[in-house]
A = this chain, B = another copy of it.
Amino acid sequence: MEESEKEYPFLRACRRQTTDYTPIWLMRQAGRYMKEYRALRKKYSFLEMCKNPELAAKVTLQPIERFKLDAAIIFSDILIPLEPMGVEFEFAKGEGPVFHHPLRGMKDVEKLRVIEPEEETSFLMKAIQIVRKELERKIPLIGFSGAPFTLASYIIEGGHSRNYILTKNLIYQDPNTWDALMEKISVMLIRYLNAQIRSGVQALQLFDSWVGCLTPSDYEEYVLPYSKKVIDGVGKSVPLIHFATSSSTLLELMKRAGGDVIGVDWRVDIREAWARLGHDIAIQGNLDPVILFGPVDLIEKEVKRILDRVEGRPGHIFNLGHGILPNTPVDHVAALVNMVHEFSSK
């Protein structure tokens, strides 16, 4: 850790150290709600932007130039490392990712390749290096990946899913294939996340966005060991945020899997979530992204409610409960960031 990093409010909060105000960043803070982003997207596809280091760096910095955010997050997608593993997909218009050959059995797992992240996702590592230079130690940079369950469910379902029937059936009916798949993904993620650290990210977020479809006992048996393996394999050199949605019944198990910070969605009261987790871990969240559509006095009321529930305890990072939505008014995002800083200032 560089000396200057000790002063970043975001990194201090990850370590439950006191800060002058509550730090804030927003999931998908670089995205479609910003006209600067949409202007670039007219010229390049989403994947083109992810795979071009200069563009990815530029997009990463767009919200930093516009808002007083306390962290940047590198512009990328959780599916990026799947392509070098041999998983083919594309982003169909307005439909999210579509996988051409959803995984069906052990043979498909055997075909998955070990990746060399510094070579095969060199564009991401390059983008991280550019952003670090551009930020000039103003705020820290977060790297990220999907968690093993969320990546596995995409590979098996072939895209977004409503009921996760294919994924669960694979878990239940072919547990050896499930274990082999999760093992390969976990090994890949350890390499991928460590490469991001070597490239310069100062914190990590593990997105287990879809794990809320499971029973707590299934999470414990089929998911926790692999999430833990990844988090253990990343080590303690940078703080790690472990995030999921619809996960209010999984919080204690997510803590067991690991992470310095647990990210929660809006479905749970943040005070109750933190009490259940114990105050020996930091917490991130938890404004409903729809609140940002306003009006501004509603945003104010909700920000105050969340800060009140946290009671000024060190170790709170303000964020949305999930990614910022397209069409979110930019002025409201600016207002939110300022409010969080103002209302939490001591």
Give A residues with C-beta under 8 Å from B: 163-165, 168-169, 172-173, 212-218, 246, 248-249, 266-269, 272, 288-291, 293-295, 298, 305, 325
Q: Can you report 26 residue pairs joining A to B where beta carbons are below 8 Å apart?
A: A163-B290, A163-B325, A164-B290, A165-B293, A165-B325, A168-B290, A168-B291, A168-B293, A169-B293, A172-B290, A172-B293, A172-B298, A173-B293, A173-B295, A212-B246, A215-B266, A215-B267, A215-B288, A216-B267, A216-B268, A217-B269, A217-B305, A246-B267, A248-B248, A248-B249, A249-B272
Tell me whether A268 and B249 are in contact in the complex, defined as CB-CB below 8 angstroms, given that A163-B325, A295-B173, A325-B165 are known contacts: yes
Contact of A165 among B212, B269, B290 (CB under 8 A): B290
- In the complex, chain B residues whose CB is within 8 Å of the CB of A217: 269, 305
- In the complex, chain B residues whose CB is within 8 Å of the CB of A164: 290
Tell me whether A269 and B293 are in contact in the complex, defined as CB-CB below 8 angstroms, given that A172-B298, A215-B288, A217-B305 are known contacts: no
- In the complex, chain B residues whose CB is within 8 Å of the CB of A305: 217
Given contacts A165-B290, A215-B266, 7 further A-B pairs with CB under 8 A are A168-B290, A173-B295, A212-B267, A213-B267, A215-B267, A246-B246, A249-B268
Q: How far is the CB of A47 from chain B (nearest CB, A)?
A: 22
Interface centre among A164, A218, A267 (most CB of B within 10 A): A267
- Of all chain B residues, which has the CB nearest A265? B215
Assembled-state Cα–Cα distance A173/B268 (Å): 23
- In the complex, chain B residues whose CB is within 8 Å of the CB of A268: 216, 249
Assembled-state Cα–Cα distance A215/B289 (Å): 11
- Of all chain B residues, which has the CB nearest A162? B160
Assembled-state Cα–Cα distance A214/B268 (Å): 9
Are A173 and B266 in touch, CB under 8 angstroms? no
Assembled-state Cα–Cα distance A214/B246 (Å): 11
Q: How far is the CB of A345 from chain B (nearest CB, A)?
A: 24
- Of all chain B residues, which has the CB nearest A266? B215
Are B172 and A291 in touch, CB under 8 angstroms? yes
Assembled-state Cα–Cα distance A91/B340 (Å): 45
